[in-house]
Chain A
Amino acid sequence: MPANTYDAIIVGSGITGGWAAKELTEKGLNTLVLEAGRTIDPGQDYVEHVPVWELKYRNWDDRAKRQKTQPVQREVYYACDEYSSKFFVSDVENPYTNVPGSKFSWIRGRQVGGKSLTWGRQSYRWSDLDFEANLKDGVAVDWPIRYADIAPWYDYVEDFAGISGQAEG
């Protein structure tokens, strides 16, 4: 196989990797995307149209298996369920460690599209309440950016992704 040279190599095809691939290729860069997970066929694999009576446990889920293989992923109880658990990683095959005494629930997908397939379709802009939180709470490091820096990029991304909102009062 001939050696290829790329201007950019992107690891992961989820929301971040996917967006990076879009931007870089649109700007003319020869781009390679690497994805560890399996490919997805929307006609076969998507679950939005699956009627609940086609689920063996009618969405009570195979809890024994879920507790064993996805104890962390199933914390996202509204998404990692009998329909969609296949879009979340196996915690058994993907262990990680925490600082002793702390808790971090690392929720991951491992397929083409990554967590864009399980994204809940709500995207709220952060405000300076969020950007200034570390400073105001005296926690960790003060982030070097504020809402004003990000606002035009929110516009840019939301326009493409079709994210919209309305002042409902």
Chain B
Amino acid sequence: MIDLIIPVTDTPGAKAARVNEFIDVILTDWANGDERQAFLNGLASIDKRSRELFGKDFVDASVEQQTTLLRAIDDAAMAGHSNRRLARHGNTIPEERDKQLQGNFWDVFKGITVHGYYTSEIGFTQEENLQIIPGAYHGCMPLTGKKA
């Protein structure tokens, strides 16, 4: 599933960035019992939907089938977001802290995938091209049209 959310493009995707291992650490050491169970229930619901639509578990469905299923879930989740501010991760304000695994399963799953990716070495250095200690500041540069 993580590989469908952040696939390989001209940079490695979530699977290469081992986001699944980050999810494992969070589920094992960070989540409380309820959150863990809710997450596992969410994964089971994906399988259930897959069996209803395609007669197979999610992992056995084709890439096209998997993409169709997740896109439908994502569209539905996005439609419900218009008034709700999404949870922030990291140094987030106290009211929103500690809730990364709470709420709608798709929001939780997509959120942890995105966070796990952009805090990985691949996501940080390759995809985002960030540096912890930035180099010089060039005040005046010609535009080249290249990605920053």
Contacts and interface: CB of A to CB of B under 8 A. Distances in A.
Contacts of B116: 58
B90 A59 contact: yes
A96 interface: no
B105 interface: no
B82 interface: no
Interface in A58-115: 58-60, 62-64, 67, 75, 77-78, 81
A59 to B, nearest CB: 5
Nearest to A83: B91
Interface string B88-106: 0111111001101000000
| Interface of B (DSSP majority class) | loop
B97 A77 contact: yes
B4 interface: no
Contacts of A57: 25-26, 29-30
A53 B133 contact: no
Contact of A63 (B90, B98, B119): B98
A152 interface: no
A145 B116 CA distance: 52
Interface size class of B (residues with CB under 8 A): 20 to 34
B22 A58 contact: yes
A52 B119 contact: yes
A43 B108 CA distance: 37
Given A58-B119, A63-B30, A51 B90 contact: no
A85 to B, nearest CB: 12
Contacts of B141: none
A27 interface: no
A137 B97 CA distance: 35
Interface size class of A (residues with CB under 8 A): 10 to 19
A60 B90 contact: yes
Contact of A77 (B25, B30, B92, B119): B92
Contact of B120 (A53, A56, A59, A77): A53
A80 to B, nearest CB: 10
B63 to A, nearest CB: 28
A49 interface: yes
A11 to B, nearest CB: 32
B121 A62 contact: no
A53 B91 contact: no
A52 B117 CA distance: 11
A94 to B, nearest CB: 21
Contacts of A64: 30, 32
Closest 10 CB pairs of A and B: A58-B119, A52-B119, A59-B90, A78-B91, A53-B121, A63-B98, A53-B120, A77-B94, A81-B91, A57-B30
Given A64-B30, A77-B97, 19 more contacts: A48-B132, A52-B124, A53-B119, A53-B124, A55-B119, A56-B25, A57-B25, A58-B90, A58-B115, A59-B91, A60-B30, A62-B29, A62-B30, A75-B94, A77-B91, A77-B92, A77-B93, A78-B91, A81-B91
